[in-house]
Amino acid sequence: MIEPLNKQLLITTFFILTTFYGQTQCLDEPGILYKTDNHVIDMDTLALLAAPMLWFSPDEPKLRDENGKIRLPQNLPFADVSDGPIVYYKIRKIYTKQKRIRILSGESASRRSKRLDLSKISALEIEYYFYYEEETGLGGHPHDLESTQLQIQIIHSDNCPQYKYGVQVKRVIARAHGLYWFENALNVDEYTRFPISILVEEGKHANCTDKNADGVYTPGFDVTEKVNDAWGVRDIISTGKLFTGGFQAWMAKSRSPETLLIPPGAEKLESVVKIKDRYPGISIDNHYTLAPFPVLPTDFADSKLRKMVESKKPKDWPKVTHSVQAGRSIVRLSKENKLRNKIGFSYRIDEDSHFSVSVPLLFVKHVEAPMTGGWFYHKFYLGESDSTPDQTNRYFGHQIQHTNSASRWLDNYIGIGYEIIDTDTELGSTNPETFLVTEIGMKVRVNITKTPLKFLKFLGTDYWGIRFGWKNLGFNPFIYSGFVLEIGAGAF
């Protein structure tokens, strides 16, 4: 039998441990927008919770209507007419831990009535689309459809007394000019403010993340991935005087609250700083309408816009994907994984002529240099395999190379590695030896996506280029030094 004092002590200890355990299961991490005990949420509500603010340049063409109100972005020509600016959304992908489970309910005829079961969802991707009737400046054209994606993890807190489910933004990808390397990607941390602020490029409408919502783009802070390649926001491109290259601070114009467009009801959302308190003097009338992405009519005649809309996949959304990793890291699941962004092929000329290939440092994953923001990658190249009299022949070469970016039109590179050389010049015999090799040079890339050579994309890359280098073979003494020329396809 337990003595009264010991019994009381046991009860108290159990209470303390239970309380402590329960509290430790209540996550208080950056990016949590919503907490609830209800496992059911409709798509409209979820889209509103994560909806971004749009911050335009003070000189954005056709920004305001005749009454001085912001009129951008506009409704798609085939959709219902909106009185004022409108933003569309798609819940593109839903990740679940279990196969073949039902996570949707509601009338199939209406996206607004669709409901999600948070208890069965680990993560999801939601994309917001912004339509403009025209793009101005360099390469201007009618119709412009831009987007920003939020990657969200659903928190399951069964032992938390405060809530059972949480909606947490883990990563934001603001699209820029339709290129993977130009994307402005942000991993959410404690300095990220919500609703997330998106800077809209003047005239061209590329999107850029603004982590602390100060209206100023700061590389390495507002964008945390592919820092040297990220486009940022380059308002001066509307003048037609800039093609590409690294971002410079003078390229972006400062924003003021007068050109800030907020999501509907943003000032009422939980877990966000009220818009009025953050930006004194701002008008809450500067908000947009949020709607599901409309269905493209089969008889819609504008071929250019049709092609643009059909490229925004999936058509039948959301797409449900089973993944055991979804609960741990949606970031790891959702990063761009296209082959054309990883491998490069070229024809190499140094001592002899041969083919070379570049692959990521981890073969399936790129490695960003921690200090420079550049990239490390492997360069493999072959040589002649048959020995001939009075000539040393290379069997194989391998370097680990570094370059500052994967997308700038003019860039430098440096590499170090080894080459296996046959130093026996007697016919019929070989003597393979390994020598240190170092290389340094410049490369010129051309993005062919908007050039007459765009048909070459079928080879698997958006980039073609040429590199000029100087190679040293051996060390103290060098056994060979000379120029290197490469022509080929790929960012590296």
pLDDT tens for 200-254 read 999 999 999 999 999 999 999 999 999 999 999 999 886 666 555 788 888 899 9
Grouping H, G, I as helix, E, B as strand and the rest as coil, residue 365 is: coil
Q: What is the mean pLDDT of residues 98-114?
A: 65
Lowest mean pLDDT across 53-57, 118-122, 201-205: 118-122
> What's residue 342's pLDDT?
77
Strands 289-292 and 86-96: parallel
Strands 319-322 and 86-96: parallel
The segment with the largest mean pLDDT, out of 159-173, 194-208, 253-267, is 194-208
Q: What is the mean pLDDT of residues 384-404?
A: 73
Lowest mean pLDDT across 197-206, 282-291, 335-344, 346-355: 335-344
Determine the Cα–Cα distance for residues 246 and 423; give it in Å rounded to an integer: 44
**φ and ψ at 335, to 5 degrees?**
-65, 150
Confidence of residue 331 (pLDDT cuts 50, 70, 90): low
Q: Which of 177, 60, 87, 74 is nearest to 133 (CA)?
A: 74
Q: Alpha-carbon Rg of the chain, whole angstroms?
A: 28
- Whether 87 contacts 75, CB under 8 Å: no
Helix (H) and strand (E) counts for the chain? 5, 24
> What's residue 295's pLDDT?
92
Q: What is the mean pLDDT of residues 122-132?
A: 96
Determine the Cα–Cα distance for residues 93 and 323; give it in Å rounded to an integer: 12
Per-residue pLDDT for 21 more than 50? Answer: no
DSSP 10: H
Determine the Cα–Cα distance for residues 9 and 364; give it in Å rounded to an integer: 56
Per-residue pLDDT for 402 more than 80? Answer: yes
CB proximity list for 246: less than 8 A, separation 6 or greater? 228, 405, 408
Give the tens place of pLDDT for each residue, 310-322: 999 898 899 888 7
Per-residue pLDDT for 389 more than 60? Answer: no
Q: Which of 280, 310, 278 is nearest to 293 (CA)?
A: 310
Per-residue pLDDT for 387 more than 50? Answer: no
> What's residue 324's pLDDT?
61
Q: What is the mean pLDDT of residues 336-347?
A: 72
Determine the Cα–Cα distance for residues 74 and 94; give it in Å rounded to an integer: 28
342 to each of 134, 336, 406, 468, 475, how far by Cα in Å?
33, 10, 10, 21, 31
CA angle 168, 336, 203 (to 5 degrees): 85
Confidence of residue 187 (pLDDT cuts 50, 70, 90): very high
> What's residue 106's pLDDT?
61
- Whether 304 contacts 143, CB under 8 Å: yes
How far out from the chain centre does Cα 343 lie? 18
Q: What is the mean pLDDT of residues 353-360?
A: 90
Confidence of residue 383 (pLDDT cuts 50, 70, 90): confident
Q: Which of 158, 160, 242 is nearest to 206 (CA)?
A: 242
> What's residue 174's pLDDT?
97
Per-residue pLDDT for 161 more than 90? Answer: no
Residue ranges in 128-224 assigned as alpha helix (H): none
Q: Containing H/E element for 117?
A: strand 115-117
DSSP 82: -
Per-residue pLDDT for 378 more than 90? Answer: yes
> What's residue 380's pLDDT?
95
Confidence of residue 476 (pLDDT cuts 50, 70, 90): confident
Length of the chain, please?
492
Per-residue pLDDT for 281 more than 90? Answer: no
Grouping H, G, I as helix, E, B as strand and the rest as coil, residue 304 is: helix
Q: What is the mean pLDDT of residues 375-389?
A: 75
**φ and ψ at 488, to 5 degrees?**
180, -165
Per-residue pLDDT for 466 more than 70? Answer: yes
The segment with the largest mean pLDDT, out of 13-27, 188-202, 337-351, is 188-202
More confidently predicted of 382 and 107: 382
Q: Quick one: CATH architecture of 339-489?
A: Beta Barrel (2.40)
Per-residue pLDDT for 398 more than 70? Answer: yes
Mean pLDDT of the chain: 83
Determine the Cα–Cα distance for residues 444 and 244; give it in Å rounded to an integer: 12
Where do the structural domains in the chain lie, given as residue ranges? Answer: 26-334, 339-489
Confidence of residue 444 (pLDDT cuts 50, 70, 90): very high
12 to each of 16, 17, 369, how far by Cα in Å?
6, 9, 53
Q: What is the mean pLDDT of residues 145-159?
A: 93
